[in-house]
Chain A
């Protein structure tokens, strides 16, 4: 490891520009996270156009800060409103809301915040120590291994992020089909562009991401307004009993450690996502407790378990991204898009070609965690006020920013039509339980999958026996087949999702 690069990366993370960029991301994420229904992937999709004028380091750190902020912010609405800002904070409601109703909302919020920050920092440290050796090994992989790993990741995500493997794979097929639109990289011929020059570069990622994630979500929320309108938020008063003491926090530390472990493990696996991690961590904390009957009635360990796992997933999801270039969930997939917009290919090559940028991002992530603690601690009352904003006020503003984001990229009317088309597609996929997570990940990694598949076929001259010399590729092909069989059997037998909520 070149320590001069690490030193300059830390120096860059501690500049004023960096603090403003990352702090802005965390603050915006916090505000968006507090509003129920706006998830971190929606926040990233809307915020990508804001990063066009930023440097690559500030842009990526801003988006990662935003992601961390939404995860921490979603706990506020879970605790005060009993309505999680996003699905992954649903487990926080189980103990957070009863604690707030019992007159201790500030304590609940502070436990949630500290657990989030600790889980996040520890998982970031694990990311730094795992991703770099992982990327060094991945640099030895050829197209055979990469094609096999990508296929495995897609099957895994398709099987685990939706109720049915077949629906997940159908979404994956559609993502691949639409991902191939544009100029063919080998022959230079237009593919499925129907004569539109605007489609020569393929469907714009911004339109696909904002349409399927953000705009479609606003349509769903507008639909829900017909039956659900009012929020009843718990008020924060100056109650002398509502203070977090050190002994009370100390008792939650083992739970936070366990939650971080669960979150890191689940986050590093493609397709599972933070909802699975937080519920798994909550269940483990309850089983490990000597007084499990306190859970569900305002136990601090319940909040700590859920929030630490939820936040640990974010850095952990970057392990396969920085190590292999494979996004394990929607947020990571959107980061791939953001990297591409700034002309950077994310993956193991980043370590070889731009190590300063990689180390700067790691340092920026630690800065984001510290800023998250400061903003969350001192902005407690302000964020609590945001929970009172009714959804019907949020929807028009988000729709406006969705449209504005598309226009900022210079696509004009054609881009808006594509945006609306993908919003309709996203709405229908969500309504009919087709995994939009798989669709989006497949859409984004299709160019990489196709390139590696092509190189494999060209290098092998069509002879599959060459795989016998590639044990890692064979291992992943076997894993893909086994995963397909196991997930298909589960779909047919149980017909019930492993991850009830989307892996974002």
Chain B
């Protein structure tokens, strides 16, 4: 837990520093005539993140030193990591496909393939669970919202 806090706190600090030194000065805009500049609230939020990140890292370092926890974990469970990662990759791939093909056309395939990958082998479940939600979406978009096929 302390190691998790350390690394996540470090990420918070990096995001806050990126925001304070690059994103806000470059992209938050400025207006010398405005009574409060447009970058005031983003800047306050970034400072809040920076201070909290420092507190999290300090607390984590204290715990790690006290409990003698190493900075890096050498026992990474790679199969577990791979299992946790593939759904992200699957949705990313589906996102790429959906840029070119409408979800109503390719939806059944996306659901059925994911069901199969998650271990479902019964054909009637694969067919039913992949067609019914898409049919519901079709009714919603075409007949109820009248926005056409999405």
Contacts and interface: CB of A to CB of B under 8 A. Distances in A.
Interface in B1-43: 4-5, 8-9, 12, 15-16, 19, 23-24, 27-29, 31, 34-36, 38-39, 41-42
A52 B145 contact: yes
A432 interface: yes
Contacts of B134: 400
Nearest to A428: B8
A424 interface: yes
A219 B88 CA distance: 7
A215 B88 CA distance: 10
Contact of A413 (B35, B84, B99): B99
B69 interface: no
A61 B56 CA distance: 41
A173 B41 CA distance: 10
B36 A454 contact: yes
A176 B45 contact: yes
Contact of B48 (A50, A169, A189, A215): A169
A492 B56 CA distance: 10
Contacts of B103: 400, 403-404, 407
Given A167-B56, A174-B15, A215-B91, A194 B27 contact: yes
Contacts of B76: none
Contact of A408 (B29, B45, B145): B145
Contacts of A458: 35-36
Contacts of B59: 164, 166, 492, 495
Contact of A399 (B31, B114, B146): B114
Most central of A52, A173, A225 by chain B CB within 10 Å: A173
A230 B111 CA distance: 21
Nearest to B44: A176
Nearest to A456: B36
A53 interface: yes
Residues of A in contact with B, size category: 35 or more
B125 interface: yes
A420 interface: yes
B98 interface: yes
A53 B145 contact: yes
Interface in A138-183: 164, 166-167, 169-170, 172-174, 176-177, 180
A225 to B, nearest CB: 6
Interface string A449-472: 110011001100010000000000
A242 interface: no
Contacts of B125: 393
Main secondary structure of the interface of B (DSSP, over half): helix
Contacts of B88: 219, 420, 423-424, 427
Main secondary structure of the interface of A (DSSP, over half): helix
Nearest to B48: A173
A462 B36 CA distance: 10
A400 B115 contact: no
B71 interface: no
A192 B25 CA distance: 10
Nearest to B145: A53
Given A184-B29, A453-B36, A170 B129 contact: no
A166 B29 contact: no
Nearest to B16: A173
A43 to B, nearest CB: 15
B79 to A, nearest CB: 8
A190 B46 CA distance: 18
A433 B8 CA distance: 10
B150 A177 contact: no
B41 A223 contact: no
A187 B92 CA distance: 36
Nearest to A429: B8
B119 interface: yes
A392 to B, nearest CB: 4
Interface of B: 4-5, 8-9, 12, 15-16, 19, 23-24, 27-29, 31, 34-36, 38-39, 41-42, 44-49, 52-53, 55-56, 59, 80, 83-84, 87-88, 91-92, 94-95, 98-99, 103, 107, 110-111, 114-115, 118-120, 125, 129-130, 133-134, 137, 140-141, 144-147, 150
The 8 closest A-B pairs by CB, nearest first: A173-B49, A176-B45, A173-B48, A413-B99, A396-B114, A170-B52, A189-B29, A392-B118
Given A192-B27, A226-B80, A427-B88, 8 more contacts: A222-B87, A397-B133, A404-B150, A412-B99, A413-B95, A449-B41, A457-B35, A458-B35
